[in-house]
Amino acid sequence: MPNGALTVSQLNEYLRMSMDSDPLLADVWVRGELSKFTHHQSGHFYFALKDEEAVVSAVMFRSYAAKVAFVPQSGMKVLLHGRVSVFPRDGKYQIYADEMQPDGLGALYLALEQLRKKLEAEGLFDAARKRPLPAIPGRIGIVTSPTGAAVHDMIRILGRRFPAAEVYLFPALVQGPGAAESVAEGIRFFNERWPVDVLIVGRGGGSAEDLFCFNDEQLVRAVAASGIPVVSAVGHDTDVTLIDFAADLAVPTPTAAAEAVVPDGIELKRQLSDQRLLLISALTRLLKEKRAALALLTAKKVLQDPRVYLQNQRMQAAHLESRLQNAVDATVKEGRATLATLAGKLSALDPLRVLARGYAAVFDENETSVGSVTALSAGDRVQVRFADGVAEATVTATRESE
């Protein structure tokens, strides 16, 4: 056995070091079809990349996988960026991916549709979340490129339609790398640092690739989270992006956005003039009615000669006094009759009237009425009351009736 023989580990490590030092393999883009794709519970992606003639293993760790803007699936064609190295334990070379993109416009739209369904399921596009725009905004924010024709068109239309509104521009990138982050930053700026009544977000027309930044997930979430009503104005009539679904109002062009957020000043003045005329007419009619009512009142005799009113009141008072006196007299008469009747009944029950007919009443020493001979005994002192006086006596004997 040769003394210079390498162990398997040493060989694999040498291959790893050789590959890692190769600048081509350290920064490589590879096009292919996803195969045996697995999204591991750890968050890592494990898969193979193949074409018609070959296949290579690949892995994308969780920190990079979380940034992929679509849901990878086996059979998709993708562009993969990363580095090629050897995993020393297995002696297999593989791609360590840090970026994955759909390959071709069709795949981009597939990724876009996947994202749309995801955000829709979260409720970010619900109609119930949409807020009405302010009828007359005092402050308007615009997030767009400061150099494009769109911003000049919007400012011109806003100034013509409603010059009283204040317009503020946040200069943002609207295509290319960093555009989505720039637009989202503008939305946050107006929400957190420079409050306005309504926001216009967008840009003029362009290719689908130019407008694709307005489909960015984080930008869509920024639009949905805005505390200020947002108008999406991206591209031309036929262009649709995901922020259109999340915005409170989506319009086909930036100029349409400017027309949507402010009223037409000339039309508003005409309406105010019409309302002023209606108000004057209503007040004139009301004044006329009140004057007519006042004339009717002043024509009444009581206002022309107050003594008539006093005489009428005196006559009414005299009439009420007469009715009251008659009611009192009738009540007194009726009361006297009732009293006489009760007095007659009471007189009939008067014990003195009984005594006046020759009867007497007997009371003991305690002046208690004696109702039976059995209550007395010989020697008891009693009072015999007559109608005209009292006789004191002593009982000599008692005898009960047979």
Question: Are residues 255 and 157 in contact, defined by beta-carbon separation less than 8 angstroms?
Answer: yes
Could you tell me which residues come within 8 angstroms of residue 284 by beta carbon, excluding any fewer than 6 positions away? none
Q: Greater confidence, 314 or 218?
A: 218
pLDDT digits (tens, 9 = 90+) for 294-334: 888 777 766 667 777 777 788 888 888 888 898 888 899 88
Q: Tell me, yes or no, whether 336 and 379 share the same domain.
A: no
Instruction: Round the average pLDDT of the chain to a whole number and report it.
Output: 85
Which domain, by its residues, includes 59? 8-103
Q: How far is CA 68 from CA 6, 22, 78, in A?
A: 41, 27, 12
Same domain, 311 and 242: no
Evaluate if residue 55 carries a pLDDT over 80: yes
Question: Domain check: are 326 and 229 in the same one?
Answer: no
What pLDDT does residue 1 have?
47
Q: Is 70 exceeded by the pLDDT of residue 2?
A: no
186 found inside a domain: yes
For residue range 344-389, list pLDDT tens digits in order: 777 666 666 666 666 778 888 887 887 787 878 888 888 888 777 8
- Is residue 106 over pLDDT 60? no
Mean pLDDT of 155-178: 93
Residue 131's pLDDT is what? 94
Report yes or no on 144 lying in a domain: yes
For residue 211, pLDDT over 70 is answered with: yes
Cα–Cα distance, 159 to 235 (Å, whole number): 22
110 within domain boundaries: no
Residues 153 and 173 placed together within one structural domain of the fold = yes
Residue 250: enclosing H or E segment and its boundaries?
strand 249-250
Among the three residues 347, 366, 382, which one is the final residue of a domain in this structure? 347
280 within a domain of the structure (yes/no): no
Q: How far apart are CA 360 and CA 320, in angstroms?
A: 58
Show Cβ contacts of residue 350 under 8 Å, excluding neighbours closer than 6 positions.
none
In a domain, 219, yes or no: yes
Shared domain for 142 and 237, answered yes or no, is yes
Q: Which of 49, 84, 103 is the last residue of a domain?
A: 103
pLDDT higher than threshold 70 for residue 244: yes
- What's the whole-model pTM score? 0.49
Please report, rounded to a whole number, the percentage of residues in the chain having pLDDT higher than 90. Answer: 39
**Residue 15 has what pLDDT?**
75
Quote the longest CA-to-CA distance of the chain: 174
Residue 9, pLDDT > 80, answer: no
Q: Place 220 in a pLDDT band, splitting at 50, 70 and 90.
A: very high
Kindly state whether residues 242 and 152 are assigned to the same domain.
yes
- Residues 252 and 324 reside in one and the same domain: no
98 and 39 within one domain: yes
pLDDT band at 130 (very low <50, low <70, confident <90, very high): very high
pLDDT value of residue 349: 67
pLDDT at residue 105 above 60?
no
Picking from 83, 103, 123, the residue at the C-terminal end of a domain is 103
| 375 within domain boundaries | yes
Same-domain status, 139 and 254: yes
Verify that 140 and 254 share a domain, yes or no: yes
154 pLDDT band, cuts 50/70/90, is very high
**326 and 225, same structural domain?**
no
| Number of domains observed in the structure of the chain | 4
18 or 184: which leads in pLDDT: 184
Instruction: Quote the pLDDT of residue 357.
Output: 66
- The CATH number that applies at residue 174 is 3.40.50.960
- Top pLDDT among 112 and 193 is at 193
CATH (domain of 47): 2.40.50.140
Residue 325 falls within a domain, yes or no?
yes
In 129-216, which ranges are continuous DSSP H helix? Answer: 149-161, 179-192, 208-211
- Are 88 and 138 found together in one domain? no
Is 24 inside a domain boundary? yes
